[in-house]
Amino acid sequence: MKYPDIFNGTINMMVIITISLLSTLQTQTDVEELIQGTWVSEESSFQDRTVFKEDFTVESYIDNELYKTYTWSIEEGQTPSGLIEHSLTLININDSGDAYHYLIDTLTEERMVLEYMDPVGRISRTAYARQ
């Protein structure tokens, strides 16, 4: 049976879209490797930086002085629509009550954007550049 050319074109387009989507998905391991390094808020300078280390610790510096050290973990989740998302949790190594939870909005070789709930209950974002 011969299918109309429009049907074949639709199938080809669906295959291309599926391959494109699969190639852009980041696994949890990819995200854990990509986040490692030194990040500086786009609203700050290098003296105020965050360093994600391979041993799953994070060092936070203010004015070039070590401010706090956290452990970090990333969890993979799925939205109701089926999109994969990654969340980041930071827990102070000296005070487990000092914890932060973020949704990773963007993570590339050069840029990271974290979403979080501010104290008033609004969703806020902080953008970082890799150093």
Distance CA 68, CA 93 (A): 8
In the predicted structure, residue 22 carries a pLDDT above the cut 50: no
The CA angle 64-109-122, to the nearest 5 degrees, is: 70
In the predicted structure, residue 56 carries a pLDDT above the cut 80: yes
User: Quick one: pLDDT band at residue 28, thresholds 50, 70, 90?
Assistant: confident
Q: What is the mean predicted confidence (pLDDT) over 55-76?
A: 98
Instruction: Name every residue whose Cβ is closer than 8 Å to that of residue 100 and which is 6 or more positions away in sequence.
Output: 70, 89, 90, 116
- Residue with token string 């360093």: 51
Tell me: the pLDDT tens digits for 117-127?
999 999 999 99
Q: Which CATH class is domain 26-130?
A: mainly beta
User: What does pLDDT average to over the chain?
Assistant: 87
Nearest to 101 by CA among 113, 111, 115: 115
